[in-house]
């Protein structure tokens, strides 16, 4: 387990090496602002690092992370909507050209949906997980007469959830408009923690397929 002292030591190494590597890049980003073309929606899981997975440099990804990589549907009210605000900013202000929703294996959010939350302190978590229930219900119905392992059930739910989150993205007016105009593309990716393999959802085949060797 990493301790605070190790984080501080890590910062010192960053300042001495990595920052110097990207120093001109950072100066340019300060002077000219950020202009990322990709909105990357990922899980808060500490094992999933968007920049590490994609080998991206500073300024190349606009990243939103939350439990389960969920996308709440558009809701124009006076409540607080962190993920929704990030989506709106990325699409309407930064004008990204791609939105990637990236799920992963062994997702705690998906697994928790198959259990009962009894901790009264997890009121926000319990509410948030409702965003994955459509996927769970779909998989439960699809596998109702099939003999599958729990791990197979969870992986299918993790993948199907990505498609439901993509559907929720289209409830945002500017997302729907720019997708229809061919200016914005929504992509569903699935990351395997065990192997580092990445899959993408092929809309033509209706299946998740290996990223390497694809033209996605």
Q: How far apart are CA 153 and CA 135, in angstroms?
A: 11
Could you tell me the two tokens for 10?
């890590």
Give one DSSP letter per residue of 70-99, joined into a string.
Answer: --PPP--SSS--HHHHHHHIIIIIS--SEE
Contact 42, 48 (CB under 8 A): yes
Cα angle 78-33-51, degrees, rounded to a multiple of 5: 85
Half-sphere exposure of 99 (CA within 13 A, CB side): 34
For the annotated binding site for Zn(2+), the residues are: 43, 45, 104, 107
Q: Is the dihedral of CA 86, 89, 90, 91 positive or negative?
A: positive
For the annotated binding site, the residues are: 43, 45, 104, 107
């Amino acid at each position: 387990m990493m301790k605070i002292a190790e984080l501080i030591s890590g910062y010192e190494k960053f300042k001495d090496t990595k920052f110097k590597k990207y120093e001109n890049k950072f100066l340019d980003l300060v002077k000219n602002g950020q202009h990322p073309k990709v909105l990357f929606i990922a899980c808060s899981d500490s094992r999933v690092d968007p920049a590490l997975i994609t080998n991206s440099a500073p300024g190349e990804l606009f990243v939103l992370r939350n439990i389960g990589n969920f996308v709440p549907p558009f809701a124009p009210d006076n409540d607080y909507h962190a993920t929704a605000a990030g989506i709106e900013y990325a699409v309407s202000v930064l004008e990204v050209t791609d939105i990637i929703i990236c799920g992963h294996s062994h997702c705690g959010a998906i697994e928790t949906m198959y259990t009962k939350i009894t901790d009264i302190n997890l009121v926000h978590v319990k509410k948030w997980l409702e965003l994955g229930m459509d996927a769970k219900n779909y998989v439960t119905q699809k596998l109702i007469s099939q003999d599958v392992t729990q791990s197979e059930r969870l992986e299918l739910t993790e993948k199907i959830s990505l498609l439901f989150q993509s559907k929720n993205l289209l409830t945002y007016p500017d997302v729907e408009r720019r997708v229809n105009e061919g200016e914005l593309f929504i992509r569903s990716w699935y990351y395997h923690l065990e192997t580092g393999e990445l899959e993408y959802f092929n809309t033509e085949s209706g299946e998740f397929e290996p990223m390497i060797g694809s033209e996605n």
